[in-house]
Structure 1
Amino acid sequence: MTRLVRTLRLGLEDLLESELRTVAFEVAGEPSVEVTLEHEPGAVVDLGFEGPAGWRGWSGGARRTFVVGPGAATPGYVPGALERGEWHVQLGLYRLPAEPIEVRVTIELPASSAVPPEPPGDPRPSAPRASARGLPARDGLTWFAGDLHAHSTHSDGEQSLGELAALAVGNGLDFLAVTEHNTVSHHPLLAGVGAAHGITLLPGQEVTTARGHANAFGDIGWVDFREPPDRWVAGVAERGGVLSINHPLQEEWAWQHPLAALPDALELWHVSWFQQPRATAPWTLLSRWRDDVTLLGGSDYHHPRHGYLPGAPVTWVAAEENSPEGILDGIRAGRTTITRLPTPDAPALVRLGDDLAALAADGTVLADTCGRRRMIHGDRVVLPAERAGHGPYRLESPAGEVLAITR
């Protein structure tokens, strides 16, 4: 066995110079590798891996060790043979103290540890599927309910893919996008896990940098977070995917990258904006965004200590079928609406041609982006286009709690 130890002294000035560092080593035919990261307290250092043939995974600050072998790898990393040549441990310098600290990377060839199997996730009692509510849709389309932002152990979530799927099924969702940070290691597993739990799992990845995050949806291969974000926008579109700017106003994770062209979608409703008393409402974003932007919501689920399940909020997509491509087609076409809850009695807003329908919304307040507000009287109220105002629209409770959003 070969054991290599690389020690670096890194502090705030190093981070300001460059947010990435690489530790290079040679592979000469070994079947597997184990990497361990150690550093003194007071820092957050992300961990990733790249070989001669390309990117092999990322676990951010969620792990201190990983194994990659020909048939298995730590979640977040792609298994497969190790090509001969130069490999790189990628270090993301997310937070470092002013005074440099010791950062140690240990590389073992071959790996001394085995990769434990992922828990399959115990089937949970299924809630009635939200799509059974039958929101009114054009002929040939059905409104399917899902969540477009969630994490498993393939990045910094605490549930396996199976456990995550079981939670979503238990909350009545029809689909769930699994959007891991800077990795697509989960993509080959989603169809099997989804079939085992009876839910559509949509391939996604959260392209993650210190200046902002974006979800790329679709089985489109890995998006290189090290490139300028304008290349993300163009590259995802060229590959047939959909790119959405995530939680653009969320504290230190707010979007700060300049863009020459805005992407097609925006995560307008992120769960944090409606949990934190002083969170900034996102409505002002809409005056600076494209008029045809597709509005999405996401729970950004990571673990049960959040106090909510996947599906907070719920993104509904009007699609021909509940499949990854069917859901993506609906998103590309802008056929989305968002509700706070997946339950049949949750207030909702949907388009009926040019008209706007408010459902299960008696006693709520309809607001538009021009500041117009009106009470809704009745459980199914259809407003002709000339009376609806200027979208996007939202339903609020009398106390101002946001209940539903549509374009």
Structure 2
Amino acid sequence: MPRQVRTLRLGLEDQFAEEIRTVPFELDGERSVEVTLEHDDGAVIDLGCSGPAGWRGWSGGARRRFVIAEDAATPGYVPGPLEPGQWHVQLGLYRVPVEPIEVRVTVEAPAAGGVEPEPPGEVRDGPRASERGLPAPQGLTWFAGDFHAHSTHSDGEQSLGELAALARGNGLDFLAVTEHNTVSHHRLLPEVAARHDIVLLPGQEVTTPRGHANAFGDIGWIDFREPPASWVERVRERDGILSINHPLQDEWSWQHPLTHLPDALELWHVSWFLQPTSTAPWALLARWARDVSLLGGSDYHHPRHGYLPGTPVTWVAAADRSPEAILDGVRAGRTALTRLPSPDAPALVRVGEDLVAVAADGTVLTDLDGRSRLLRGERTVIPAGRAGTGPYRLTTPAGELLAVSP
């Protein structure tokens, strides 16, 4: 196939008319293809690709070049045979100026360049947060993890191995890898998880300009171009779990109407973590949170954040430390959230119908209706019927959020 260059002029009116633009190209027996995107630096145009057999990947605004070959692909894209027929470069008009700018798409097949190998990450060892032995229902253990993190398979800066090493080094038992609009990482997770001795949950952050949701489970790709109601339906059909992400976070807040709630809610996103005395999210979200499983997510992308995966921590009471058991615990609503994974961090968990506060001497327990009580002692049991209405939050006397329990 000869080198193809397609030039478009795209501005704000084009974004309003159609957020996703496609650039078609033909393949016929080539074993690799390379796509390059060029435009003014002031714009943010997402980049992806689909073939005759379906979706082949997405890198959003994190990349302006990708390669797909039979045996390798740029992170974010799925390698494999390049079926003959019409392919499409997918352009997401996320942020473009009022006046149209020139956008150039170049397609070369075979690819002119290759795919750089991903660093495997340094293997780390150390205690796991679950070893603190939080009180749990019979036959279950509270495992510590994070339900929101990114690698180079979308807009993160660490490879899958480097990301796993950070999570394992912070004492986590599991980590959900939730890449934007791609599942290219799913096939790689078992090997990376075995190398770093951590459970890696397959995830996809279904991403649109009006809201994001995480789809958990090895359930294939969820089409972000469809209405969000279909995400809920597709994920349930495939026995996965859908969680609405950072629903009140600035321009990424949830703005899609839904007639049916998904199974989970990212109640404690890191943006709330960084404003620990804020109660604005609580008042708006907690009543919704009564009907879904509660999750937390660091939304980790790179070390310049100044925090690690597991900020905050989501605890799941599960039968064992496996992806299936962890997701079963989420389905059953057996989750709790804490500020940190350290063994002396205050925690609030359910054991049966009772609430149990651990390492919480001098903290304040507040229920959904705003009723508060001061806790005394390193371990306090609040029997069923005496705790008020959940979800519950544990704070310092100054109002700094420490833990959440349904």
Cα distance in structure 2, aligned partners of 1:342 and 1:127: 13
* Unpaired segments ≥5 residues, structure 1: none
Greater mean alpha carbon deviation, residues 386-395 or residues 306-315:
386-395
Answering whether residue 383 of structure 2 is matched by residue 400 of structure 1, we say: no
Match of 2:11 in 1: 11
Contact 1:262 1:290 in 2 (8 A): no
Please give the secondary structure, in 1, of the residue aligned with 2:3: strand
Please give the secondary structure, in 2, of the residue aligned with 1:57: strand
User: Identity across aligned pairs (percent)?
Assistant: 75
Q: List per-residue Cα deviations over 1:300-345 (Å, max 9, x = no partner).
A: 0000000000000000000011111110100011100000000110
* Unpaired segments ≥5 residues, structure 2: none
Cα distance in structure 2, aligned partners of 1:94 and 1:340: 33
One-letter amino acid of the counterpart of residue 328, structure 2: D
Displacement of 1:284 after TM fit?
A: 2.5
Displacement of 1:287 after TM fit?
A: 5.4
Contact 1:272 1:279 in 2 (8 A): no
Answering whether residue 215 of structure 2 is matched by residue 188 of structure 1, we say: no
Alignment of 1:57-136 (within 5 A): 57-124=57-124, 126-136=125-135
Q: List per-residue Cα deviations over 1:92-151 (Å, max 9, x = no partner).
A: 000000011000000001001111111100123x33100101111111111100000000
Cα distance in structure 2, aligned partners of 1:284 and 1:259: 20
Change (3 A) 1:218 1:277: closer
Q: List per-residue Cα deviations over 1:42-91 (Å, max 9, x = no partner).
A: 10000000000000000000001000000000000000011000000000
Match of 1:370 in 2: 369
Match of 1:48 in 2: 48
One-letter amino acid of the counterpart of residue 60, structure 1: G
Alignment of 1:267-286 (within 5 A): 267-276=266-275, 281-286=280-285
One-letter amino acid of the counterpart of residue 322, structure 1: R
Cα distance in structure 1, aligned partners of 2:6 and 2:280: 46
What is the root-mean-square deviation in Å for CA atoms of aligned residues? 1.2
Please give the secondary structure, in 1, of the residue aligned with 2:394: strand
Cα distance in structure 2, aligned partners of 1:271 and 1:326: 25
Displacement of 1:286 after TM fit?
A: 3.5
Match of 2:202 in 1: 203
Displacement of 1:385 after TM fit?
A: 1.7
Alignment of 1:273-352 (within 5 A): 273-276=272-275, 281-286=280-285, 288-289=287-288, 291-352=290-351
Cα distance in structure 1, aligned partners of 2:387 and 2:337: 18
Q: List per-residue Cα deviations over 1:9-42 (Å, max 9, x = no partner).
A: 0001100111110000000111100000000121
- TM-score, normalised relative to structure 2: 0.98
Q: List per-residue Cα deviations over 1:234-259 (Å, max 9, x = no partner).
A: 11001000000000000000000000
Please give the secondary structure, in 2, of the residue aligned with 1:261: coil
Cα distance in structure 2, aligned partners of 1:118 and 1:167: 16
Contact 2:290 2:390 in 1 (8 A): no
Contact 1:2 1:110 in 2 (8 A): no
Contact 1:45 1:93 in 2 (8 A): yes
Displacement of 1:297 after TM fit?
A: 0.1
Cα distance in structure 2, aligned partners of 1:290 and 1:43: 36
Contact 1:249 1:280 in 2 (8 A): no
One-letter amino acid of the counterpart of residue 90, structure 1: Q
Q: List per-residue Cα deviations over 1:183-222 (Å, max 9, x = no partner).
A: 0000000010000001000000000000000000000000
One-letter amino acid of the counterpart of residue 123, structure 2: P
Please give the secondary structure, in 2, of the residue aligned with 1:42: coil
Cα distance in structure 2, aligned partners of 1:253 and 1:280: 19
- TM-score, normalised relative to structure 1: 0.98
Please give the secondary structure, in 2, of the residue aligned with 1:132: helix
Runs of 4+, deviation exceeding 2 Å:
276-281, 284-288
Match of 1:175 in 2: 174
Displacement of 1:277 after TM fit?
A: 7.8
Q: List per-residue Cα deviations over 1:335-373 (Å, max 9, x = no partner).
A: 000000001100001112111111100000001110101
Match of 2:28 in 1: 28
Cα distance in structure 2, aligned partners of 1:357 and 1:132: 17
Change (3 A) 1:278 1:384: closer
| Count of paired positions | 406
Please give the secondary structure, in 2, of the residue aligned with 1:272: helix
Alignment of 1:201-240 (within 5 A): 201-240=200-239
Displacement of 1:290 after TM fit?
A: 5.9
Contact 1:273 1:281 in 2 (8 A): no
Cα distance in structure 2, aligned partners of 1:279 and 1:220: 36
Cα distance in structure 2, aligned partners of 1:355 and 1:30: 62
Match of 1:155 in 2: 154
Please give the secondary structure, in 2, of the residue aligned with 1:356: strand
